[in-house]
Structure 1
């Protein structure tokens, strides 16, 4: 087994480095099993404790995961190498990426000309006009605005918050199914994920309470447009979750409101519930442009200090050229009207697909956002069957921890007439799958 995977080394660090190289080079693919500890120890002529230490290091760095009797396997999103989405095959319609419709994104107009910066922006990292626009954006939906700052995208912000608040081995409550990049990021930071079930109103209170009792130190959730299910917090669900969290005041609550302007759902954020430790993150990539790597963060004073301190030591600030570009777009009336049309179109397209699937007896979920989540028995059969008919959708495995199998369809570019064709093809594929696998 060791020779097959080219695992070598006589120390824990050497063995871990050998596995890491194999994963980065593609010799060990996601899901590949590593040799049992005792077997590898015998083959390398080292103690079982040495191998166990190597595997522990790999787990803490998000390269492998342990699945009980299933042994130790390479993580689905290992924190080394480049894990990109599968390349879209030629000749098929891409409905797997989760991206907005380019027709509803404005043309970006960076400020011109841009003069040289005399030194550093560390002393004044935020453009005053954009900070005020951000405060108004948050305040509109009841998010407290006493402490506001910026980051280089929502995931960058969430990663910095987790890395400053937690230490390797700590647990984080995450949505299941949830945002696949977050599910990759958490173990890459050396943290443990505790899945929390979601329904059409987001995280369920019962599942969250179980996770909190299990000792999580932070939770990451989406108040609306949840990816991939599309759930959103009603006022009642928000209050119920806040009631559960009130018994665990030390837990840091991070809300990722990534598609606030085009989710098609009202805002009832946990940030407005008076929690002691909280952070509410918003970005503009879904409604202003995927290349605008900027996010606004509202949070409590302690969280702000820790986030700012870490940013000061790393990137220092978000580019003021980028900030000026975002500020101009946020104050452009034509852009505001375009964003409004986008939200209406996304709601219509999402509803059309769900309706067409329902008319063919296929249940689907998608109360808000840009995606539709369709439970299926065999993800691979559905993905491959739709590919043969010219559609490219995402297998649900990338989004799941313990939740049932499904596929995710991005509906942002799918017109109602396209939705009817896709639903018809979907029904045919399910019929073929049932005939092949017996139901």
Structure 2
């Protein structure tokens, strides 16, 4: 071993320096030292024996120094070099692991190639020990890896159900966005984020602090100081977000009021020649593609703003594809993580600080109005609908144009 090298070969300072080097640099350092001793008449074999390393290592180090060739960028040894795995010498280990995990294997009925096991690595090690195999955690993980089994988390990706014309609607959304961008129309993505409780409630994430942070041990709404209804509007083209923090209900009237304010205070100035606003949204809740009250409120909004609203709904169970979800809401979640939302203003201030490397900017407004959840449909609804709303010939339930009455 290097630590047993006589001081006349490698001094204590040499050993200290070598302890800071990786394998490649140690190899080259030893080759440099060996060259000095070889010049004094010592053979590589004698020098390597005195150094406690192999002749092969010294020769490799010398060759790398002379030619400038190395194991490759970012590597400390050539591919395939180093100690060989012992697993091929013990196929019975793999057989034992397969025997242990087989009764504990589950899978997806939709895909026979996807399986998972209900045993932990520690439990597998215990079963192996009971069978007479004393195998380390490292080798058990290697065996599992060779079987294609690695630790993974389930992630939400599968739609709740198959939706007819789902793919066709995604193609239409893509076409609408391309056409709108080509002529400079504003495209906004809207949605309402999960409601948040105001008060000293635990939140995911961490915060820089000089002491332990404590919150209430139960998240009961009866102990909150109110709730926040976070509604977002995301300008897809300009990468700019507009968050409205409400305190009442998430209704279509609430949504339309937020759009009207953002249009008048921000978007109208950014798109002075626009006569049509493209709105991307999901198909449920306050953005429902089927509820009459939603269309009634959007007809009122078109009348109020004096522009056309091109409504484009994502298919059911596909709201996560709405740009606002991953472009704005994910960043707001990050800004709100780590510490409780102690007040509405505190939540607004932290949301306003949201930014990204791509230049996301967020404007925040507090909407203190109260919104009723049971409002009647006006008697003239059907006449207004026929006059103001033009449904697309295909997939009209998800694509329609709302015009001003005048």
Which of the five TM-score ranges fits, normalised by the shorter chain?
Answer: under 0.3
Q: Name which one, 1 or 2, has greater alpha-carbon Rg.
A: 2
**TM, length-normalised to structure 1:** 0.22
Of structures 1 and 2, the one with the larger relative CO (CA 8 A, separation 6+) is 1
